[in-house]
């Protein structure tokens, strides 16, 4: 007697072209967001409570431009902290080098803007490579303290108006002689907004490409277990120096854009508090993720500006912007340890449970 044996064939793999529509749409989400951001200055939509007046007011566009710059700056810092595991307290030094380097070359030396910007970014990148070559000889807390020491030297030079170039505590306004006409005046604030958006796009693209490359996988390995990378025959020092130098160059480029947006250099960009703020931005958004640091930087700077403008109307401790911002950060870290980037994964089980629950 022949016994027929029936077996259920395994489901065939879904071809890439038949992937779920939601996944295909998610791949185009960054492009959609970029298009919306580019077209935002044409919007006259008022958002009471969030912005004063229409979105395309010059003041609102400047605030958004600053938020975009710090979104890119936070992403550059995440290349060190989130993707390589390097806790640096001196990242603000290279941002300040881009700000003051460009300002000094334009205001005192009379260089055209684009030439001054190239010199400042290249010089800051070389500075990051030199200081990184020294600091990376240490590790852990020692590395953090060495980077902090370098940053403090830069802050002292700026505050004491070394060579009469920085303006000391009063800062250094940017001379308009070397600037192109399309970046001058309140009417051209929209161009500064687009410039800040372009900077953010460049940083996200560079960091994403690095993270997806073989170098990025080595950096992730250094973050997780540096000794294992060394056992594989790779040189951890060289890879960390590449990440340190690239992050410093991206920060310097952000300094150039920030200088144009605010119209001058001020000593606060050299403070270690700025690097600590960058650390908060990255942790708030989600370290080691593609969009987390960007969202954290944008949200932090928006809240910092908005809470400052509203602090006069709030009683007691609520009238202190840093108190409110610190409370928000503590609550965010407590409820979302992975940052804003983990919000989707934490909400997904709740949505799934709601779908499974019977409806009456």
Judging by beta carbons within 10 Å of its beta carbon (0-12, 13-18, 19+), is residue 179 exposed, middle or buried? middle
Dist. CA 71–CA 253, nearest whole Å: 13
Whole-number pLDDT of residue 87: 93
Task: Answer yes or no: are the C-beta atoms of 69 and 200 closer than 8 Å.
Answer: yes
The mean of the pLDDT values for the chain is 85
The predicted-structure confidence for 157-174, as pLDDT tens digits, reads as follows 999 988 888 988 889 999
Could you give the CA distance from residue 273 to residue 275 in angstroms, rounded to a whole number? 5
pLDDT level of residue 360 (50, 70, 90 thresholds) = very low
Question: Is 253:121 a contact under the CB 8 Å cutoff?
Answer: yes
Under the banding of pLDDT at 50, 70 and 90, the label for residue 347 is low
List, in order of start, the domains of the chain with CATH numbers.
54-303+327-332 (1.10.3470)
**Percent of all residues in the chain with a pLDDT value above 70, rounded to a whole number:** 84
Tens-place pLDDT, residues 252-301: 999 999 999 999 999 999 988 898 899 999 998 889 888 999 999 999 99
Centre a 10 Å sphere on the Cβ of residue 301 and count the other Cβ atoms it contains.
22
Cβ–Cβ < 8 Å for 95, 199: no
- Residue 8's pLDDT band (boundaries 50, 70, 90)? very low
Are the beta carbons of 124 and 66 closer than 8 angstroms?
A: no
pLDDT for 337 equals 75
How many CB atoms are closer than 10 A to CB 275?
Answer: 23
């Amino acid at each position: 007697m022949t016994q027929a044996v029936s077996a259920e064939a395994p489901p065939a793999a879904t071809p890439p072209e038949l992937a779920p529509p939601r996944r295909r749409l998610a791949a185009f989400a960054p492009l959609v967001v970029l298009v919306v951001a580019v077209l935002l200055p044409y919007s006259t939509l008022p958002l009471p409570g969030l912005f004063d007046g229409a979105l395309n007011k010059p003041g609102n566009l400047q605030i958004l431009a600053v938020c975009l710059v710090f979104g890119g700056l936070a992403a550059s810092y995440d290349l060190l902290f989130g993707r390589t595991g390097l806790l640096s307290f001196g990242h603000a030094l290279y941002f300040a080098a881009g700000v003051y380097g460009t300002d000094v070359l334009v205001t005192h030396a009379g260089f055209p803007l684009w030439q001054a910007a190239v010199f400042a970014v290249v010089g800051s990148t070389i500075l990051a490579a030199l200081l990184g070559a020294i600091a990376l000889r240490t590790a852990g807390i020692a590395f953090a303290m060495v980077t902090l020491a370098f940053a403090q030297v830069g802050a002292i030079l700026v505050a004491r108006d070394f060579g009469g170039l920085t303006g000391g505590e009063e800062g250094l306004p940017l001379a308009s002689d070397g600037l192109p006409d399309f970046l001058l005046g309140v009417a051209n604030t929209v161009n500064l907004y687009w410039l800040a958006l372009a900077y953010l796009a460049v940083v996200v693209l560079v960091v994403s490409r690095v993270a997806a490359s073989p170098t990025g996988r080595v950096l992730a390995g250094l973050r997780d277990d540096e000794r294992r990378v060394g056992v594989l025959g790779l040189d951890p020092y060289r890879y960390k120096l590449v990440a340190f130098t690239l992050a410093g160059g991206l920060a310097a480029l952000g300094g150039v854009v920030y200088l144009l947006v605010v119209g001058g250099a001020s000593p606060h960009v050299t403070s270690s508090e700025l690097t600590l703020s960058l650390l908060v931005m990255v942790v708030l958004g989600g370290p080691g993720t593609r969009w987390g640091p960007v969202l954290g930087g944008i949200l932090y700077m928006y809240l910092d500006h908005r809470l400052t403008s509203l602090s006069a109307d709030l009683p007691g401790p609520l009238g202190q912007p840093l108190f409110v911002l610190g409370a928000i950060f503590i609550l965010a870290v407590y409820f979302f340890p992975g940052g804003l980037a983990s919000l989707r994964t934490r909400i997904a089980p709740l949505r799934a449970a709601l779908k499974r629950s019977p409806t009456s």
